[in-house]
Amino acid sequence: MKKKVQRAALLKVLPFFIAAGVAQAAGCNHVIDGAFTSSGEWVTCATSKEILFPPVNGVGGAVLGVDQGVPGQDNNLYLIYDYIGSTTPASFFDVFFEVVPDNHAYLVRIGPSGFAAFERVIGNVAPLDQNGSFLLGAGSGWDALSQADLTLANFHAAMGFGPSVLNSHNHPIAEFSLTIDRSGSGGPGGVYSPDPAFWSASEKSSGGADPPLSSGIFGLNVDGTTTVTKMLDANGAPLMQGSVTDTPEPGTACLVGIGVFALVAGRRRV
């Protein structure tokens, strides 16, 4: 990050989970607790965006909800991952996103009791383990965020297991929020640039694979709404990570998505 003072030495020196917390929005009253806290928190909120990712070959099967706080009142971006395609409690959720002006990709691993946050330079594909989860640790290219970075980002994250509007049975749900950098328009600083950028999420169940659940280009609009353009592979399935060099405008997302899928598929065959 551009405000970095000192990078943490190794991932292993960071306590694996940082305590989860609660953040509330001025517009839609989001509470980061891993659940649909009220009927107005997401589905009936005027500014929130919900996108369904149908199941494709064992991936997808989730609804992504995105909402930005009211500019001038709330400087946070809010997300919910409603994994309606599963009835098995999750071990963790991984949220991957890019900040193109900062030239970094970020990974937030959300667990039952908190989260851990990492970053890497944009420009190469992050390694995956045999289950398809992001590989962390020495040599992976991921570095733990410094305390200064964490303070600026003000992450809040929580994972739950319960019902939602679209699935009355208990299933995995995760919520996440972080600060938006609105300093370019005279607002407060933050970690996430309003410029179009790639986001994805995946879910890990005990002993199973780590399927991607959602992927797309986010654009934060000045009127407080959020535009999300799906970014899928050649089979119509979500991707684990975005472009390897830069994030495209939404109009070119599909073409880049196909290219990234081919690159990742080729890498997995090695």
Where do the domains of the chain lie?
16-269
Please give the Cα distance from 162 to 171 (Å, whole number).
5
pLDDT of residue 1: 55
- Report pLDDT digits (tens) over 187-220: 899 999 999 999 999 999 877 789 999 999 999 9
**What span, in angstroms and rounded, lies between the C-alpha atoms of 216 and 200?**
7
pTM: 0.83
Which residue has better confidence, 164 or 22? 164
